[in-house]
Amino acid sequence: MNKNEEVIKKLKLRLNQTKFKVVIIPHISPDGDAVGSCSALAEVFRQLEVEWHILTCDYIPEYLRFLKNISRAVSYQDKPEWCRQLIAEAGIIFMLDHNTMKREGDLEPWVAAAGALRVIIDHHPDPDERQWVISDTRVSSTCELLYSVISQIWGKEIINPDMANALYTGINTDTGGLSHNSSRPETYRVIADLLELGLNKAYIHEQIYQMNHLSRLRLIGNVLLNKLQVDAHYPVAIMPITLEELNRYDYKDGDLEGLVNIPLSIHHICVSIQITERKERVKLSFRSKGEVPVNQWAKAFFNGGGHLNAAGGQMNTSLEEVIKKVNETIPWFFDHLKTGFSEEE
Ligand code: 5GP
Ligand code: MN
């Protein structure tokens, strides 16, 4: 039995033992995989009549709110005391699509202090081994892994069309519509199962990709036309976005989703970096093609991490300083790409 199977077996026993409240937490700035997995897992507990709560440290973007159970998610920004109470009372806390409590923003100290069993279900490298960990970096998404966890604990029969839709949302969005991280046959077996279990693929595509506002297209158009810079010497594209531009184009959470992938469609570009100015910090998103570990770059200089081809980070300095830092560290990154990245960096 492998390690994940052992933890799943232990978890199954624990779930059958006592009555408990469940808290489910996605990562900060939740994406389709984080929200899809929360939606599907909550639906298990709703069917079993177990008390459950989805808690977020910030907000679920508008375009994912159609998913089942997500309208009930509570943000720490709106109800901090209620969130603290639910975390303190929880018997089990599920940490979905992230590998450490550090990715839970303002919820982190309360989750760290909780007496609950903490279970990570995730596909990022280096999960926090102090928790119960169900993790696999080979899968396309947390949703793909969660499908297997749910099947092993409760059986496929518990998966209804709403859960199939939520799980597919995570698989689809984390792979850029099945373009990257999706070369394993298993991913398509899961999708085939989900179709048999009632997945409405056309509906999900419509909800995720065909609900844009004109202002979002204008925002993206402006960035691509006026802001995209391609480095003269290295295969790197950089897109800085100011707070003023976000306001000008009526930015809403999720409006920049997917933008960072577009420069990778330029034939010679293998790294794309989006640098977005927010009220309190500057957020970086890294994407790459092939064996180019941008998570090393994010980790070494930008307080971040992530996957080989998709990583992120943040800085508390000005947008200009972050742009400067990115430009200054380009040669470092490409030198190490040749010589290898040591663990200390
Ligand atoms: P995104 O660019 O979509 O925000 O993030 C891409 C990937 O990098 C995601 O899988 C996410 O988990 C990871 N990531 C984003 N921001 C951070 C961060 O600040 N720290 C770490 N460790 N990972 C991050
Ligand atoms: Mn994910």
pLDDT of residue 12: 97
Q: How far is the CA of 33 from the centre of ligand 1 (A)?
A: 12
Q: Which domains can be identified in the chain, with CATH numbers?
A: 3-209 (3.90.1640.10), 214-339 (3.10.310.30)
**Ligand 1 proximal residues by C-beta, below 6 Å:** 27, 29, 31, 124, 285, 304-307, 310-314
- pLDDT tens per residue across span 40-89: 999 999 999 999 999 999 999 999 999 999 999 999 999 999 999 999 99
pLDDT along the chain (345 residues), means of 10: 95 90 97 98 97 97 96 98 98 98 98 98 96 97 98 98 98 93 97 98 97 96 98 98 97 92 97 96 96 97 95 98 98 96 64
Distance CA 63, CA 256 (A): 12
Instruction: Name the token pair of 112.
Output: 């760290």
Q: How far is the CA of 141 from the centre of ligand 2 (A)?
A: 5
Q: How far is the CA of 165 from the centre of ligand 1 (A)?
A: 24
What atom in ligand 1 is closest to the CA of residue 31? 3
Q: How far is the CA of 153 from the centre of ligand 1 (A)?
A: 29
Instruction: Name the token pair of 26.
Output: 């996605």
Among residues of the chain, what percentage have pLDDT more than 70? 99
Distance CA 109, CA 269 (A): 40
- pLDDT tens per residue across span 89-102: 999 999 999 999 99
Q: Which ligand is nearest to the Cα of residue 287, counting in written order?
A: 1
CA distances (Å), origin 5, targets 10, 12, 133, 136: 9, 10, 10, 11
Instruction: Name the token pair of 247.
Output: 């306001």
Q: Using an 8 Å Cβ cutoff, are 306 and 312 in contact?
A: yes
Distance CA 41, CA 24 (A): 8
Distance CA 245, CA 295 (A): 27
Distance CA 124, CA 208 (A): 23
Nearest in space to 143 (alpha carbons), one of 32, 33, 35, 255: 33
pLDDT of residue 345: 44
